[in-house]
Amino acid sequence: MEVMIEKLDNLGRGITYINGKICFVENALPNEKVDIEIQKEKSKYYEARVIQIIEESPFRIEEECPYSSICGGCHLNHMCFNDENKFKTRKVKEIIKKYAEVSPDLVKNIVYNDRNYYRNKIVLHGYDQKLGLYKKETNEIIPIKECLIVNQKINEIIPILNKENKDIKEVIIKTSNDNSSIMIQIEGEVNSIEELKNITDVLIINGKLLTNDYKIKTTIGNKEYYQEMDSFFQINNTLTKELYNEIEMNLKDKNYNKVLDLYCGTGTIGIYIKHLVGEVIGIDNNSSSIKSAIVNKELNQLENIEFICDKVENRINQFQNIDLVIVDPPRAGLDLKTKEYLKKIAPKKIIYVSCDPITLARDIKDLKDIYNIEYIKPFNMFPRTYHCESIAILEKK
């Protein structure tokens, strides 16, 4: 069936219409004429795949990754990087207008850096001495030699793991932002533990620590941080500094005395901006992250910064006289109790770091009765995928 693609949806899929019903087409770009095959039919929509491109978009590029059409991890490999950034900016604007009822003019230009080699973490799966990524929507292993979106240090490790793979079920590789330190966690069996110990700073196999240290040190700007295998850390090793600088810029000359850092992870944001504020209180329910946050506080020789291990909704009602709240929630966004108490606490400013523009828009809508939205700035922290990070600056009316 030949169709013309009109635009992209929020997941980067092409949109066309068949007999008045919307159809989502993977690997298709606007203004392309394509021959498609319907894969799913629902009451309100179709899902289809491209069989042949008849008229190609000028923004389509040849895919550099040999696994891109198989693993499904990168949704926009076929789109040129400039158009990817335009797509993400347009996506945030449309979502903010639709779900938050906020002017899209408040969305600034997207911040971006490298399209390749930006991730400091990868998870590989193994079966029958094959180690790689899952084939899209299956548990079939696609063996890989390298991945274009992880940093080169990780790509150097992958062939070694393939060589030492006796029966690896899963492996997580993480590096510091400057690629100087490596940590590996393996479930399964390897040929030579000593070989792997020679190339890593932290090695954990089947839950057992086999190296002297359990953490690595990394940097963001002029701040140093320790991270453990289980602690959350931003995966983009180039743009995280730009993201944090945007937060820092909003604090200069403001004299915020008391700051809440919600969903604080390993304390990276609170520590990064501590020199500009008085007291910082960070909250996160991940015990490993809070353990790292306390160590990071000591590493940076900071006082008047406290970290609490608990769910944000369990503690949010305990605070008052807060000048600034920074939130960096998971993809689900803020829960109702947290939003209600944020309005009761009523800080002068809320800085909302979001990895999902739809939940960001929903939460902004719930807060905008007492907050003005100063601006929203997208960050392309996840090139080649449809995901987009954003910062929203909310000022109390």
User: 40 and 93 in one domain?
Assistant: no
On the question of pLDDT at 192 being above 90, the answer is yes
321-348 residue pLDDT tens: 999 999 999 999 999 999 999 999 999 9
Residues 268 and 290 sit within 8 Å (Cβ to Cβ): no
* Encoded tokens for 355: 């990895």
Q: Report the 10 Å Cβ neighbour count for 90.
A: 16
**Would 199 be classed as within a structural domain?**
yes
User: 370 and 315 in one domain?
Assistant: yes
User: 103 and 135 in one domain?
Assistant: no
Whole-number Å distance between alpha carbons of 1 and 275:
61
Smallest Cα–Cα separation from 133: which of 65, 192, 79?
Answer: 65
User: 136 and 285 in one domain?
Assistant: no
Smallest Cα–Cα separation from 344: which of 320, 312, 310, 308?
Answer: 320
User: 206 and 269 in one domain?
Assistant: no
CA-based torsion, 216, 217, 220, 224: positive or negative: positive
**Would 172 be classed as within a structural domain?**
yes
Residue 334 belongs to domain with CATH number: 3.40.50.150
Provide CB contacts within 8 A for 66, sequence distance 6+: none
**How many residues can be counted in the chain?**
397
282-327 residue pLDDT tens: 999 999 899 999 999 999 999 999 999 999 999 999 999 999 999 9
**Would 65 be classed as within a structural domain?**
no
CA-based torsion, 59, 65, 70, 75: positive or negative: negative
On the question of pLDDT at 238 being above 90, the answer is no
Domain count, the chain: 3
223: β partners: 220
User: 319 and 341 in one domain?
Assistant: yes
The single-letter DSSP state of residue 8 is: E
* Encoded tokens for 24: 């989502």
User: 156 and 174 in one domain?
Assistant: yes
Q: How confident is the model at residue 92, as a pLDDT?
A: 98
On the question of pLDDT at 78 being above 90, the answer is yes
Q: How confident is the model at residue 232, as a pLDDT?
A: 83
Q: How confident is the model at residue 71, as a pLDDT?
A: 86
Parallel, antiparallel, or unpaired: how do β-strands 33-41 and 21-26 relate?
unpaired
* Maximal CA-CA distance, the chain: 66
204-236 residue pLDDT tens: 999 999 999 999 999 999 999 998 998 888 999
Q: How confident is the model at residue 137, as a pLDDT?
A: 82
The whole-model pTM stands at 0.94
User: 199 and 132 in one domain?
Assistant: yes
Q: How confident is the model at residue 233, as a pLDDT?
A: 86
* Encoded tokens for 234: 């931003």
**CA 198 → CA 156, 182, 193, 226, distances in Å?**
13, 11, 9, 21
User: 108 and 125 in one domain?
Assistant: no
- State the chain's mean pLDDT as an integer: 95
Whole-number Å distance between alpha carbons of 123 and 149:
12
Domain that holds residue 363: 85-113+239-396
* Encoded tokens for 87: 């797509």
Assign residue 248 a region: left if phi > 0, alpha if psi is -120 to 50, beta otherwise? alpha
110-165 residue pLDDT tens: 999 999 999 999 999 999 999 999 998 888 999 999 999 999 999 999 999 999 99
Residue 53 belongs to domain with CATH number: 2.40.50.140
User: 90 and 30 in one domain?
Assistant: no
Q: How confident is the model at residue 64, as a pLDDT?
A: 87
User: 243 and 363 in one domain?
Assistant: yes
Q: Which long-range contacts (CB under 8 A, 24 or more apart) does 191-200 make?
A: 191/163, 191/164, 191/165, 191/166, 192/164, 195/160, 195/164, 196/160, 196/161, 196/164, 199/157, 199/160, 200/157
